[in-house]
Chains A and B, each alone.
Chain A
Amino acid sequence: MQIFSKDKTYNFMGKSNIFISVSIVLILASYFFLYTKGLNYGIDFSGGTVVQVKYDKKAPIKQIRKSITKEKAFSNATITEFGSPNEVIIRFSTTSGNVSTDAGDRIKGLLKGTGNFEIRRVDIVGPKVGGELREKGIMAMVMSILAILIYVGFRFEWRFAVASVMALVHDISIAMGAIAFFQVDVNLDVLAALLTLLGYSLNDTIIVFDRIREGITQTKDLNLFNVINDSVSKTLSRTILTSLTTFFVILTLFLLGGEIIYSFSFTLLVGIIVGTYSSVFVASPMLKWLGFDLKDYKAKQVAKEKRRIEREKMRAQYEKGMM
């Protein structure tokens, strides 16, 4: 079986303006949603308390709300259904540093009389820890982008590195836009998903860039457009296939993995689609935009090769001289 015909070269570069425009519109929309709707920080980053309660029948949300908001500390509590009608999540921003009596114990007391229930989860994140987690999260993001920038710059050329990082920023921005639009809870797992996306999307981009690098050395064609078109076309079926297999598993996680893993799989689901798009349509045209010049690159490669031969010659002479 084959999805893409054998030797056809698609003209991606010819339409690159359209693709880039689509991306710019998506990114602008994402920032618009991030600005207007904002990120819905979960307790991991904002601090607060989450109590998950499961009833043996449909949870009486109204009654729960009435009994809980009686207490002043919980007056800002939100109660939402979680996964099934029997289960609810109670969330509020207050935390207490008391180890021996915590919000879970008090909620349990307040809920007496609302039916048969079981408290299945109590998460408390103090405000200081929340702030620390957020700082660490941003650090993780910045550090991995830096590390990647250095590695790609070292293995390829700085324009490749910048182009791949721009593609990453593109993917992360759009994924975060979707998170803001659908008001997904942003917890540690979303951060993990975004970092995975970073690695994944980069993976895709590197495979294409690797092919472009190979294309440059193998062809005498000095037209960057042609080399890029040829390389992207050649890697197209791989890009689509791997994206498909990864998409399958993320989709099963999304559909079957349960409510707890929802925000993680949602982020990756959006991310894989954007990541695949960007490595095919966005990253490569970036090279041209950044002023990548084939002749220049080749000349540099030749010079590098010359230097290497020169060095070897010197060494040979030196070794001979020693003898």
Chain B
Amino acid sequence: MSKGGLNYRLVIFFIAIVFGVGFSLPTFLQTNKGSKISLGLDLQGGLHMLLGVKTDEAIKSKMKSIASSVKFFTDNNDIVIDELRISGELVTFTLLDGDEEKNLDAMLKKIQGLQVKKEKLRYTLSLSNSEKVATKKFAISQAVETIRNRLDQFGLSEPNVAKQGVDKILVELPGIKTIEQEKRARELIAKAAHLQLMAIDEKRADQANSMSEYEAASYGDIILPDSRNPQQKHIVKSVPILDGSMLTDAKVGFSNMNQPVINFTLNSEGAKIFGDYTAKNVGNHLAIVLDNLVYSAPVIRERIGGGSGQISGGFSVKEAHDVAIALRSGALLAPVKLLEKRSVGPSLGADSIKASMLALITGFVLVFLFMIVYYGMAGLIADIALLVNLFLVIAIMALFGATLTLPGMAGIVLTVGMAVDANVIINERIRELFREGKSVAQAVEKGYANAMSAILDANITTLIAAVVLYAYGTGPIKGFAVTMSIGILASMLTAILGTHGIYQYLMPIIDRSKSLPFWFGVRRSK
């Protein structure tokens, strides 16, 4: 009746063992080749941030650049306009030359998504709703791209920048070692890197420190502080000559005084605008403005061709380096704000690994011994399945490139406790059948059959809870749900199929020995 020997269950189980051990080796040995489990930020230390994007600012800055183009166009074509103003999401101006109306309208028509309202020759420009939505959307994807570029150049290993939800950005930086390094990375991320070349209002330059912002606005000016001495103010025209979007390169250099400076280069369009402007404004001051601070305001001595310029303003070498990265990667169209931050020092991560490994090993040994004491060889067979289950969980996680977090570790520990459940159910069924006087082979086969529906229903319900946890969980909780689910699925393979195969293989030996206490930890009752 009991044939023993190889059977398909055992073969599958062997494949599972080879698969599990093979694919978990890279993780255990931490080899360079092969996919392995990476440690979550809570275990290896690092910075996790969720950023929001102030998308309203993107619309304002878009309106600003529209104002710049209007000014450039009218200056170039000798069209006289007056009272060009930016107020929030609106740009207003008055056209003085009625003859040029057609010309100007044609130019405005070319700007995508622009709504033009006219009361006689008084123009009010705004963005259409769909353009606003598109601008906001673009600001987010541009922020993701820009932050990613900056962090790539910053030189940290494996930074991760991704859009999350509709308007959030997830930034993960493993491998941050010190709080100083973390701060530098945060500053680099948050830097708007908004470079503007602006005209000093020569008529009112001497009133910069006394004039109110409100009064300045009435002249179409804004007041900006100096980078070195924020008490000192500059009064500049609110419509910039050009901005950093026309920048092609930025590099750290050194000035004559051996101070670090940033040399930037403009693209051909920017170079033309810059050349034209400087040619017309010899003798006036030009303000170089970065993130709303005036770094310098030199006098224009002659036309500046070639489109290159310099930002100097008392940087340290590190700062200059980071500013250059930020300028090269482009400006953030909209500033970012911190919604959530988790930062874990590497030593804390190491402590967590130690503690959870200790718990895992202790728990495993306890369960291992308990099963043998209670079930004899049947317990040992269940233990083998448990061990293979552990390997499988690690192998599958490694193959998916999953990240192991602290809750994930807890999930694995918990799996150890729960994975033997199937074998407990089966063994109890087998013992019951012994009591009914069934032979060993009959008891084993029927035991598996009887236990199946309970095991399936129980595992599926737990799986449902794990899937919901994954769907609604965030961050590390997802990791917990993943390890739990993989553990449950793997346990079906090892604890049900695998152990069944082992029994079938050993059946002739069990039959011959007739020792139920040794094999199943019970005596046959009379």
Could you name 24 residue pairs across A and B whose Cβ atoms are closer than 8 Å?
A2-B522, A7-B525, A54-B347, A99-B337, A102-B186, A120-B347, A121-B348, A123-B343, A126-B339, A129-B339, A192-B481, A195-B469, A202-B458, A202-B461, A206-B457, A207-B425, A214-B453, A238-B425, A242-B424, A245-B367, A248-B367, A250-B414, A252-B358, A256-B355
Q: Which residues of the other chain, B, contact A265 by a CB distance below 8 angstroms?
A: 410
Question: Is A143 engaged at the interface, CB distance under 8 Å to the other chain?
Answer: yes
Interface membership of chain B positions 236-267, coded 1 if the CB is closer than 8 angstroms to chain A and 0 otherwise: 00000000000000000000000000000000
Q: Which residues of the other chain, A, contact B309 by a CB distance below 8 angstroms?
A: none
Interface membership of chain A positions 248-264, coded 1 if the CB is closer than 8 angstroms to chain B and 0 otherwise: 11101101111011001
| CB-contacts of B339-369 with A (<8 A) | 339-345, 347-348, 351-352, 355-356, 358-359, 362-364, 366-367
Question: Is B507 engaged at the interface, CB distance under 8 Å to the other chain?
Answer: no
Cβ B190 vs Cβ A99 within 8 A? yes
Contact of A99 among B336, B420, B460 (CB under 8 A): B336
Question: Is A110 engaged at the interface, CB distance under 8 Å to the other chain?
Answer: no
Q: Which residues of the other chain, B, contact A245 by a CB distance below 8 angstroms?
A: 366-367, 370-371, 417-418, 420-421, 424
Q: Which residues of the other chain, A, contact B432 by a CB distance below 8 angstroms?
A: 234
Cβ A122 vs Cβ B343 within 8 A? yes
Question: Is A147 engaged at the interface, CB distance under 8 Å to the other chain?
Answer: yes
Of B190, B375, B410, which is in contact with the most chain A CB atoms at under 10 Å from its CB? Answer: B410
Question: Is A28 engaged at the interface, CB distance under 8 Å to the other chain?
Answer: no
| A78 to B: closest C-beta gap in Å | 19
Of A7, A124, A191, which is in contact with the most chain B CB atoms at under 10 Å from its CB? Answer: A124
Question: Is A108 engaged at the interface, CB distance under 8 Å to the other chain?
Answer: yes
Cβ A100 vs Cβ B339 within 8 A? no
Q: Which residues of the other chain, B, contact A288 by a CB distance below 8 angstroms?
A: none
Identify the closest chain B residue to A3 (Cβ). Answer: B374
Cβ A147 vs Cβ B464 within 8 A? yes
A133 and B342 alpha carbons, distance in the complex (Å):
15
Cβ A192 vs Cβ B190 within 8 A? no
Q: Which residues of the other chain, B, contact A140 by a CB distance below 8 angstroms?
A: 468-469, 471-473
Identify the closest chain B residue to A47 (Cβ). Answer: B340
- Not counting A202-B465, A246-B414, A253-B363, a sample of 12 additional A-B residue pairs whose C-beta atoms are within 8 angstroms of each other reads A1-B374, A1-B521, A7-B435, A99-B190, A104-B179, A104-B343, A144-B464, A189-B410, A191-B477, A199-B461, A260-B352, A265-B410
Q: Which residues of the other chain, A, contact B421 by a CB distance below 8 angstroms?
A: 203, 242, 245-246
Cβ A199 vs Cβ B339 within 8 A? no
Cβ B343 vs Cβ A258 within 8 A? no
Q: A151-B460, A241-B374, A245-B370 are in contact. Are A97 and B338 (CB under 8 A)?
A: yes
| B251 to A: closest C-beta gap in Å | 23
Q: Which residues of the other chain, B, contact A143 by a CB distance below 8 angstroms?
A: 468, 471-472
A143 and B459 alpha carbons, distance in the complex (Å):
18
Cβ B428 vs Cβ A249 within 8 A? no
Cβ A196 vs Cβ B347 within 8 A? no
Cβ B454 vs Cβ A210 within 8 A? yes
Q: Which residues of the other chain, B, contact A203 by a CB distance below 8 angstroms?
A: 418, 421, 458-459, 461-462
Contact of B465 among A118, A144, A155 (CB under 8 A): A144
Question: Is B187 engaged at the interface, CB distance under 8 Å to the other chain?
Answer: yes
Interface size on B, residues (CB 8 A): 83
Q: Which residues of the other chain, B, contact A204 by a CB distance below 8 angstroms?
A: 458
Chain-A contact segment, one of B44-52, B86-94, B108-116, B198-206: B44-52
A256 and B354 alpha carbons, distance in the complex (Å):
9
Q: Which residues of the other chain, B, contact A260 by a CB distance below 8 angstroms?
A: 352, 355, 406
Cβ B477 vs Cβ A129 within 8 A? no
Question: Is A163 engaged at the interface, CB distance under 8 Å to the other chain?
Answer: no
Cβ B356 vs Cβ A258 within 8 A? yes
Cβ A196 vs Cβ B465 within 8 A? yes
Cβ B179 vs Cβ A196 within 8 A? no
Question: Is B193 engaged at the interface, CB distance under 8 Å to the other chain?
Answer: no
Question: Is B373 engaged at the interface, CB distance under 8 Å to the other chain?
Answer: yes
Interface membership of chain A positions 281-314, coded 1 if the CB is closer than 8 angstroms to chain B and 0 otherwise: 0000000000000000000000000000000000
Interface membership of chain A positions 131-162, coded 1 if the CB is closer than 8 angstroms to chain B and 0 otherwise: 00100110110011001100110010000000
| B496 to A: closest C-beta gap in Å | 15
Question: Is A237 engaged at the interface, CB distance under 8 Å to the other chain?
Answer: yes
Cβ A96 vs Cβ B338 within 8 A? yes
| CB-contacts of A66-125 with B (<8 A) | 95-102, 104-105, 108, 118-125
A236 and B86 alpha carbons, distance in the complex (Å):
77
The 4 closest A-B pairs by CB, nearest first: A199-B465, A249-B363, A246-B417, A140-B472
Of A124, A189, A196, A244, which is in contact with the most chain B CB atoms at under 10 Å from its CB? Answer: A196
Q: Which residues of the other chain, A, contact B70 by a CB distance below 8 angstroms?
A: none
| CB-contacts of B14-64 with A (<8 A) | 49-52
Interface membership of chain A positions 216-241, coded 1 if the CB is closer than 8 angstroms to chain B and 0 otherwise: 00000000000000000011011001
Contact of B468 among A121, A124, A126, A195 (CB under 8 A): A195
Question: Is B271 engaged at the interface, CB distance under 8 Å to the other chain?
Answer: no
Question: Is A188 engaged at the interface, CB distance under 8 Å to the other chain?
Answer: yes
Interface membership of chain B positions 407-429, coded 1 if the CB is closer than 8 angstroms to chain A and 0 otherwise: 10010011011101100110010
Question: Is B151 engaged at the interface, CB distance under 8 Å to the other chain?
Answer: no
Q: A118-B345, A210-B454 are in contact. Are A264 and B407 (CB under 8 A)?
A: yes
Cβ A189 vs Cβ B407 within 8 A? yes
Cβ A124 vs Cβ B344 within 8 A? no
Cβ A196 vs Cβ B484 within 8 A? yes
Contact of B341 among A122, A133, A264 (CB under 8 A): A122
Cβ B476 vs Cβ A200 within 8 A? no
A215 and B269 alpha carbons, distance in the complex (Å):
85
| CB-contacts of B499-526 with A (<8 A) | 521-522, 525
| B126 to A: closest C-beta gap in Å | 28
| CB-contacts of B171-227 with A (<8 A) | 179, 183, 186-187, 189-191
Cβ B410 vs Cβ A257 within 8 A? yes
Cβ A248 vs Cβ B342 within 8 A? no
| A1 to B: closest C-beta gap in Å | 5
Cβ A118 vs Cβ B347 within 8 A? yes
Question: Is B480 engaged at the interface, CB distance under 8 Å to the other chain?
Answer: yes
A137 and B477 alpha carbons, distance in the complex (Å):
11
Question: Is A15 engaged at the interface, CB distance under 8 Å to the other chain?
Answer: no
Question: Is B474 engaged at the interface, CB distance under 8 Å to the other chain?
Answer: yes
Question: Is B466 engaged at the interface, CB distance under 8 Å to the other chain?
Answer: yes
Cβ A99 vs Cβ B186 within 8 A? yes
Q: A244-B370, A250-B417, A253-B363 are in contact. Are A121 and B343 (CB under 8 A)?
A: yes
Q: Which residues of the other chain, A, contact B49 by a CB distance below 8 angstroms?
A: 99
Cβ B355 vs Cβ A258 within 8 A? yes
Q: Which residues of the other chain, B, contact A241 by a CB distance below 8 angstroms?
A: 374, 424, 428
Question: Is A65 engaged at the interface, CB distance under 8 Å to the other chain?
Answer: no
Cβ B466 vs Cβ A238 within 8 A? no
A214 and B189 alpha carbons, distance in the complex (Å):
62
A191 and B469 alpha carbons, distance in the complex (Å):
9
